[in-house]
Amino acid sequence: MTARHWIRVLLAVLVYGTAISIGGALFVSDPTDPILVVPVGGGLTVIAHAVRTAQLDEVGYAVGGMWATILVVSVGVGVVETVALSGRSLASDSVDVLGAVVVTTVLIVGYVVALKRA
């Protein structure tokens, strides 16, 4: 394989890894929380599989779906906090865990769906 191919793979892995790490950490209030292992580990697993099977484009589709989910959940949480809770915050450990698990699940399911369509 050419050097150009490996540069493309390396850049894709860096971009996807950064997007997954940032997206997985958005709902976690403490940056040292062990729950961050879930999105980072899930993301590394998806990326490793994609590199091994040459399916990096499918990771891009999954990351796009993950970020769309983050947008929808963020807007939904904002609406619930504003309307139903009268400005009080939903921040708690259960929200952190739920957010990290949902984001990781959407990433993995999105990747599997993209693989089946390819």
Residues of the chain with pLDDT under 50: none
pLDDT at 67: 95
- Per the structure, the complete domain to which residue 91 belongs is given by 3-117
Report the pLDDT value the prediction gives residue 87, as an integer from 0 to 100.
65
Which among 69, 59, 64 is positioned nearest to 11, based on CA atoms?
A: 59
Confirm whether pTM is higher than 0.75: yes
Furthest C-alpha separation in the chain: 58
Nearest to 19 by CA among 55, 49, 51, 44: 44
Three-state SS at 26: coil
Which pLDDT does position 91 carry in this prediction? 65
Give the pLDDT of residue 116. Answer: 94
pLDDT attached to residue 76:
82
Q: What is the pLDDT of residues 84-93, one digit of tens each?
A: 777 666 666 6
> What total number of domains does the chain contain?
1
| pLDDT in the model for residue 2 | 87
